[in-house]
Structure 1
Amino acid sequence: MTAVRRTKTHMADGRELFYFDDTEPCVSTGRVPPPDTRDLPHVQHSSTVRYDVLTGEWVTIAAHRQDRTFLPPADHCPLCPTRPGREPTEIPAPDYDVVVFENRFPSLSQAPLSQIGARDVPPFVDGVPLWPQRPALGRCEVVCFTSDHNSSFGALPVSRVRTVIEAWADRTAELSALPGVEQVFVFENRGTEIGVTLEHPHGQIYAYPFVTPRMGQLLQRAADHRERTGRDLLGDVLDAERKSGARVVREAEHWTVFVPAAARWPVEAHIVPHRAVPDFTALDDAERAELADLYGDLLHRVEVYFPEGGPPPYIAGWHQAPVGAGRNLTRMFLQLFSLRRAPGKLKYLAGSESGAGAWISDVAPERIAQRLREVG
């Protein structure tokens, strides 16, 4: 098992920060976290979630996020370590391996009700029962994969990817235990075309007070499949992809990487465990070790997918089983996708996709898999 030491501290405004160290001397002797010397006000937010009666989905209204940090120059990056000659950042230490901290501009928060003004949130918008609303209680965390501003997740050594996985498992366990949390979603946005506002290699973790629409659809499909066949839907999908082999990118002892048969995006791949595990916390040591290798390898393949134009923008989202109802219906899996369809060209979600929700793919899934195998 990889030796990773966790150290918890607090930032100047009371937010929690966690160091996950895999290098010496911190692993052996522990880390003494330096204080956050900034003069910061406590985080304020007024987010609410409103129910869309036409879709059955909850929409988070987080107007305060309009003022969040947007693409600062590298010497003002808030995710770099605090070093002599520059202003203090979100991470007080002069160096770090992996760091997780509460987002300064959260869409969801566990802040006290009095602090976020929840007492002033009526149960219905405009007093109309068609539109229920409530405070957006949850949690949003930032995960810094490395202190190197100019690196990327795909460039990390396997040992560091393993540390990130340990951090994801740790945070999934704690966030799942928070009151009101129904789903924990781990993800990375990379590239300004995706909408990234900070270029430092990082991801995020959202602890939602509801089951997200994507997971809700999957649970319904899995429940129907279970009732009809008595089997696990994702397990059957995995078995079918492995048997076909046409879209398999890599197959190992505990995980398989493949392009789904109905891939929507110009570049897309899933990583699915062979064992029906609900989330990161349930992975054993062998599964975590193998995943570190497979995931880092997949990210590298995606980064060199196009022969020109540089690494494509992508979203990598880990769909973990919900905390409560439906947890036994699905297993965790990765969905990684890019909206770049060719060098210099993006897949725009126009009328059919955005307006009608009817997807039109520009690339055959078998061709995506072939290319991912070629660049390995």
Structure 2
Amino acid sequence: MKRTCITLADGRELIYFDERDDAVRASVDGRQLPAQAPPAQLRWDPLTEEWVAVAAHRQGRIFLPPSHECPLCPSTAAFLTEVPADDYDVVVFENRFPSFAGETGRCEVVCFSPDHAASFKDLTAQRVGTVLEAFTDRTAELSQLASVQQVFCFENRGEEIGVTLHHPHGQIYAYPYVTPTTQRYLQACERAGKNLYAEVVARERGGERVVAGNEFWTAFIPYAARWPYEIHVTPHRQVADLTELTDAERQACAPLWLEVIQRLDGLFGMAMPYVAAWHQAPVKQGRDLCWLHLRIHSIRRAPGKLKYLAGSESAMGAWVNDVAPEQAAAALRDVAL
């Protein structure tokens, strides 16, 4: 893999991750862009003890443009985009409308393919491996920033989830604090005096809620899944984040990650809206208590039916799942690939 870094017209960083070592990246961003937006404000809520980022500039971000105006496609003579080149494999760049920037962290966009009409399930296992390499590279580099406390790599797919661009892409948030989900997990581990996710992995491997697996990874639906279809893809040994995986583990992850997405899409014969989220340890604390894993969940519970976060979930944080995890795992295993 070849890594090439350039600077966009407004000073943001862009990195090409090419599968060919002889790739040449000489294109220059010819756009006239306004100055970068100021960083978001971080505000502390004493009632929930959580940080809230107020990023008013994000109101102006591009919303579901027509395909010929997609800012994530390669540039053409008729339309210059965020990617100056006329083709690419995987590309990462600083978000033009970030939730976090400067002293409040960083946000990046990761484009998986130059094909606007593609989806993650259409990628080759090699390309998924390149995406994983890009996520790993960015986790390592962003973790070195003084303001960053946790790095979060993820993909949102589907208008039902809230995506604003259809082009196949993910994002990376480098937070200036440890996220509430991770904080609650670490507090539970500290009370128990052990790595609780290790017990989850030991319980689920080989059980009735397993969806798929290989020598290094297992994909399963947890016993207490919150979402109708919630899949954890986890390595068989404890590592804190993507940077601690071996080459063999990364290579084995790519086809399994791809298979899980293909099974989701095959479940009802339609593109499933989902969030695919890499849960990584914080940069500076609790690394021995965290177990890297990918959580993929869909809000679709049946054809034509979505799982809405209504009163109980939204107001009280009290979850009710409409699909038994055992039933969901069996349905996913039965999908013909």
In structure 1, the partner of 2:75 is 82
- The answer as to 2:64 corresponding to 1:71 is yes
TM-score by length of 1: 0.88
Alignment of 1:198-347 (within 5 A): 198-225=165-192, 227=193, 231-243=194-206, 245-307=207-269, 310-347=270-307
- Could you tell me which runs of 5 or more consecutive residues in structure 1 were left unpaired when the two chains were aligned: 111-135
- In structure 2, C-alpha distance between the alignment counterparts of 1:176 and 1:364, rounded to whole Å: 38
In structure 1, the partner of 2:100 is 108
In structure 1, the partner of 2:6 is 9
Q: 1:18 aligns with which of 6, 15, 18?
A: 15
Note the aligned Cα RMSD (angstroms): 1.1
Segments ≥4 residues shifted beyond 6 Å: none
Query: How far is 1:251 from its partner?
Result: 2.5
Aligned pair count?
A: 336
Q: 2:156 aligns with which of 179, 183, 189?
A: 189
Query: How far is 1:32 from its partner?
Result: 2.7
8 A contact 1:65–1:106 mirrored in 2: yes
Query: How far is 1:30 from its partner?
Result: 3.9
Which is greater in Rg?
A: 1
In structure 2, the partner of 1:55 is 48
8 A contact 1:235–1:274 mirrored in 2: no
The AA in structure 1 aligned to 2:162 is G
Report % sequence identity. Answer: 56
In structure 2, the partner of 1:152 is 119
TM-score by length of 2: 0.98
- In structure 2, C-alpha distance between the alignment counterparts of 1:344 and 1:32, rounded to whole Å: 44
- In structure 2, C-alpha distance between the alignment counterparts of 1:50 and 1:76, rounded to whole Å: 35
8 A contact 2:209–2:220 mirrored in 1: yes
In structure 2, the partner of 1:172 is 139
In structure 1, the partner of 2:107 is 140
Q: 1:356 aligns with which of 316, 323, 329?
A: 316
- In structure 2, C-alpha distance between the alignment counterparts of 1:33 and 1:189, rounded to whole Å: 31
- Could you tell me which runs of 5 or more consecutive residues in structure 2 were left unpaired when the two chains were aligned: none
8 A contact 1:183–1:207 mirrored in 2: yes
3-state SS of 2:114 partner: coil
- In structure 2, C-alpha distance between the alignment counterparts of 1:330 and 1:206, rounded to whole Å: 18
8 A contact 2:39–2:104 mirrored in 1: no
- In structure 1, C-alpha distance between the alignment counterparts of 2:80 and 2:70, rounded to whole Å: 10
Query: How far is 1:313 from its partner?
Result: 0.5
Query: How far is 1:45 from its partner?
Result: 2.2
- In structure 1, C-alpha distance between the alignment counterparts of 2:114 and 2:25, rounded to whole Å: 17
8 A contact 1:247–1:369 mirrored in 2: yes
